[in-house]
Structure 1
Amino acid sequence: MTVLGVEGGIDFLLQFGGGYVYLSERPQDRSPVVELVGAEKAAALAKRIGTGGLRVPLGKPFIAAYLRANNWSINAIARRLHVTDVTVRKWLNDAEDRQLKLSL
């Protein structure tokens, strides 16, 4: 997400996640990607990821972790991502379980 930044990447995932987008190094003005990020960033994204059709992942566990790290409540995250608070808690707990333990 270096091209878009974290917040821009999250906006991209929320807008296009779960579907296909077409990336081009010479994007058209009518492109939904251009409408969201602008032509310059759309072209840079195509150079970084590759041109052509792309299935965009949902990225909800990542987004939930980012929002929680930015002091969002569990309920606010659940509403933003259209999932239950139970799902958000599971994602956050799963992410904690994957963290390396630094002490014994």
Structure 2
Amino acid sequence: MAEIRVPAHIQPYVTAIGIEQAIEFLLAFGGSYVYLSENPQKGSSVAAEMGMDAAMRLAAKVGSGALYVPTAKPFIASHLKYNKGLNTNDIARKLHTTHKTVSKWLRSGEANQLDLFDY
């Protein structure tokens, strides 16, 4: 796998449930509000999509309550390109955006921002 820098606002999700499940979570809920609970009920949309264990780990790491989930599309595009080998067209379809937008993210390095604290 290529070294893709995880943006700071996405890191808690990756720490809680790993990069693959975090991306599944972002794809399923990005751009919307969800309710996280350390004791999710059977009707929990997060628990239904991700499983009870992942829902509990997310709530423990990110916090319980209503949460706006970021889309993180530039980061996801980078991961899909460099770690999964998807081409730009496939990424665009998966992220519901255009080929040009994905190309811009990948070309500009927006998806691979440098850590300001790396020396």
Tell me if structure 1 keeps the 8 A contact 2:36–2:66: yes
Matched, 1:84 2:92: no
Q: Which runs of 4+ in 1 moved over 6 A?
A: none
Question: Alpha carbon RMSD of aligned pairs, Å?
Answer: 1.6
Cα distance in 1 for residues equivalent to 2:90 and 2:66: 32
Structure with max Cα Rg: 1
Tell me if structure 1 keeps the 8 A contact 2:17–2:57: no
- Deviation for aligned residue 1:3: 2.2
Tell me if structure 1 keeps the 8 A contact 2:34–2:69: yes
- Deviation for aligned residue 1:98: 4.1
Cα distance in 2 for residues equivalent to 1:90 and 1:15: 23
- Deviation for aligned residue 1:34: 0.3
- Deviation for aligned residue 1:12: 0.4
2:61 to 42, 48, 54: 48
Task: Give the unaligned 5+ runs of structure 2.
Answer: 1-13
Cα distance in 1 for residues equivalent to 2:37 and 2:20: 22
Cα distance in 1 for residues equivalent to 2:60 and 2:78: 28
**Aligned pair count?**
100
Task: Give the unaligned 5+ runs of structure 1.
Answer: none
- Deviation for aligned residue 1:99: 4.4
